[in-house]
């Protein structure tokens, strides 16, 4: 059939769209699941410091879905690091700056096809920002008004945190800016917390 021509080039793009759309479907499902979630309400009962409605919104959209995607990202990161180390010929990083370079230039390139820029180093060199010109995860996304608190791409934070933990680095990762919420760029802020000591036997005191 004539329809088979020039499909090969599309294949890679399609796969990225598959990922983007699947992630979208997941977030949509999470938002649905947590709309009337009892867990969320239970937590609300415990914490009473602002108006119920505001807090409810915060938990519902900002936290619940974001937290779960973050946790899922962590689980993915823990496994993805092995794939990454096996496929790239990257060795051990000697400082945080080198780590930042590897993340931006090798890892992001490999998995998402983008190269974020590394900026805003703290004077101590333990904190930096990844600036994403485009975020493939949000290709087809628009946040509706009632989900303005949702940290849509928090999966990425989890992935970074999980992957780095497997190479003995405890790192705090969060979104500082997000184009979905009206900022001009997407900024992921990463802060080195500590080196995880290797020689601690698990579960031993």
Number of neighbouring beta carbons within 10 Å of residue 167? 14
19 touching other proteins, by CB under 8 A: yes
The minimum distance between CB 21 and other proteins, in angstroms, equals 4
Question: What DSSP string runs through 89-137?
Answer: -----SSHHHHHHIIIIIIHHHHHS--PEEE---TTSSEEEEEES--GG
- 156-175 positions binding other proteins, by CB under 8 A: none
Among 31, 33, 192, 194, binds other proteins (CB under 8 A): 33
Among 80, 81, 104, 151, binds other proteins (CB under 8 A): 80
Closer Cβ to other proteins, 25 or 170, answer by number? 25
Among 64, 68, 103, 164, binds other proteins (CB under 8 A): 68
Measure the CA–CA gap between 158 and 173, rounded to whole angstroms: 8
Nearest by Cα to 132 from 104, 152, 107, 173:
104
Give, to the nearest 10 degrees, the angle between helix 66-87 and helix 8-33.
150
190 touching other proteins, by CB under 8 A: no
The minimum distance between CB 42 and other proteins, in angstroms, equals 16
Pick the piece of the chain touching other proteins (CB under 8 A) from 13-21, 116-124, 165-173, 193-201.
13-21
72 touching other proteins, by CB under 8 A: yes
Among 21, 54, 170, 196, binds other proteins (CB under 8 A): 21
DSSP assignment, residue 196?
Answer: P
17 touching other proteins, by CB under 8 A: yes
Closer Cβ to other proteins, 11 or 89, answer by number? 11
Long-range contacts for 196-203 (Cβ within 8 Å, ≥24 apart)?
196/165, 196/168, 196/169, 196/170, 197/168, 198/168
């Amino acid at each position: 059939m004539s329809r088979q021509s020039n499909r090969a080039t599309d294949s890679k793009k399609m796969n990225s769209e598959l990922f983007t759309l699947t992630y979208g479907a997941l977030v949509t499902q999470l938002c649905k699941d947590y709309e009337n979630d009892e867990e969320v309400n239970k937590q609300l009962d415990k914490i009473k410091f602002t108006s119920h409605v505001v807090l409810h919104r915060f938990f519902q959209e900002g936290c619940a879905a974001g937290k779960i995607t973050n946790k899922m990202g962590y689980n993915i990161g823990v496994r993805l690091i092995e794939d990454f180390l096996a496929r790239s010929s990257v060795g051990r990083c000697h400082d945080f700056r080198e780590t930042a370079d590897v993340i931006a230039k090798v890892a992001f390139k490999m998995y998402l096809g983008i190269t974020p820029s590394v900026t805003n180093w703290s004077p101590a060199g333990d904190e930096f920002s990844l600036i994403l010109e485009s975020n493939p995860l949000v290709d087809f996304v628009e946040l509706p008004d009632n989900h303005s608190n949702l940290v849509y791409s928090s999966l990425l934070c989890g992935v970074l945190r999980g992957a780095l933990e497997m190479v003995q680095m405890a790192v705090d990762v969060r979104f500082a800016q997000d184009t979905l919420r009206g900022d001009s760029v997407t900024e992921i802020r990463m802060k080195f917390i500590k080196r995880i000591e290797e020689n601690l036997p698990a579960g031993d005191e």
